[in-house]
Structure 1
Amino acid sequence: MKIGIFSGSFNPIHIGHMVLANFITEFTDIDEVWFLVTPQNPLKEDAILLDENTRFEMTKLALADYPKLKASDFEFSLPKPSYTVHTLEALSEAYPENTFALIIGADNWEAFDRWRDFEEILEQYRIYVYPRFGYRISISKKLKDRVEALSSPVIEISSTFIREALAKGKNMHAFLPESVHKYIIEKGLYL
């Protein structure tokens, strides 16, 4: 099975994440998308990050009705900080029956040469790059067989925007899966 790895803090997961993953499973050769909830992103500050188990729980709730989309806490047991190259290697070892590909945004693709062992990732794994407003996806000819620019819908919703709006008492129901919105309200998260 071909698995697309979509890593993120998912703080919180929102409909933009889900629309993208749904598009990928329906319009590419990827069979499933695994949402890898990251305990710590080496390129991001750890500021307003809810604990990993809460973020994983929200991700599980969001994906419960989508058989091709899976929540994963795989990185929780890996050394921190989590580097994508190590995660992909560990996944390939743990699930040798699957082929793994990396899903990243155009913003991350632009900074990809700053990632730990990015050449090894390019050598070993296929990469799918989804569009983001304000970023052009440029793929050199030599990488065309390893990296694919997706023509997925661009939904510019950020978890930061949602957190800030919730903190101001705004109703973010339409931006979040129903189960996640309910969980956030019940637990009083981001307030």
Structure 2
Amino acid sequence: MIKKSSSLRLAIFGGSFDPIHYGHLISAMDCLEQIPLNKIIFMPCSRSPFKKQNPQATGHERLEMIQLAIEPFKNFEVCPFEVQSPAPSYSIKTAKQFHKLYPQAELFWIIGSDQIAGLPRWKDYAELIQIVKFIVVPRSNYPFEKTDYLIPLPKIRYVDISSTEIRERVKKDLPFFHLLPEAVFNYIKKHSIYIPNKIAHEK
């Protein structure tokens, strides 16, 4: 967990990260430099409330992969708060926890523009936007207008990579080395994650 400070600009980057890939890292670095921010906390969820199935990799595996991926970045950290909490994961619970820990910090939440239309369906949405401001990473065909709590990233490098694509390539025994950090690639291969018929349940 990060050290407490009275002058933090802290962003939470939530998601399944099943697995983390270069697209996540590039978006996070753009946010860090362009806003700018002091820290970005990668927050893998236990399970999204909008999804019926758990991520295919376990919470422990996803935490390990994130830690391997962000090792070279001194301003990136990973937090187990959501994967250690009962599913589903609600952003308001996480935001309140961080606001309690860092009451003087300016809190942000990183999302893609494809998520904006669904924001009003997030649990306690009206309260959530009083706690965090959303940094919006543009996605193709998902334009949006800036508001007091939606901050557009001025310049973004589009990286057309998805975790779903990586999982499918693993299942089909296709190359995926080029889509994520070498340490994460080696971890997936070593632990046979995403291999067909491998059971991966949250413990």
TM-score by length of 1: 0.92
Residue type at the aligned position of 1:100: L
Residue correspondences, number = 187
Per-residue deviation, residues 32-59 of structure 1 (Å, max 9, x unmatched):
1110011111112325521101111000
Distance 1:176 1:145 in 2: 34
Partner SS state of residue 10, structure 1: coil
Q: Given that residues 5 and 33 in structure 1 are in contact (C-alpha distance below 8 angstroms), is that contact kept between their aligned partners in structure 2?
A: yes
Residue type at the aligned position of 2:116: W
Structure 1 position 71 matched with structure 2 position 78: yes
Residue type at the aligned position of 1:159: S
Alignment RMSD: 1.5
Unaligned runs of 5+ in 1: none
Aligned counterparts, 1:1-191, within 5 A: 1-46=8-53, 49-139=56-146, 144-150=147-153, 151-191=155-195
Distance 2:54 2:93 in 1: 24
Partner SS state of residue 53, structure 1: helix
Residue type at the aligned position of 1:52: G
Residue type at the aligned position of 1:190: Y
Distance 1:32 1:110 in 2: 27
Give the C-alpha shift of residue 31 in structure 1.
1.4
Higher relative contact order (CA 8 A, sep 6+): 2
By percentage of residues, which structure has more helix?
Answer: 1
Give the C-alpha shift of residue 75 in structure 1.
1.5
Partner SS state of residue 169, structure 2: helix
Q: Given that residues 30 and 156 in structure 2 are in contact (C-alpha distance below 8 angstroms), is that contact kept between their aligned partners in structure 1?
A: yes
Give the C-alpha shift of residue 97 in structure 1.
4.8
TM-score by length of 2: 0.87
Q: Given that residues 129 and 137 in structure 1 are in contact (C-alpha distance below 8 angstroms), is that contact kept between their aligned partners in structure 2?
A: no
Unaligned runs of 5+ in 2: 1-7, 196-203
Cα separation, partners in 2 of 1:98 and 1:48, compared to 1, 3 Å: closer
Displaced runs of 4 or more, over 6 A: none
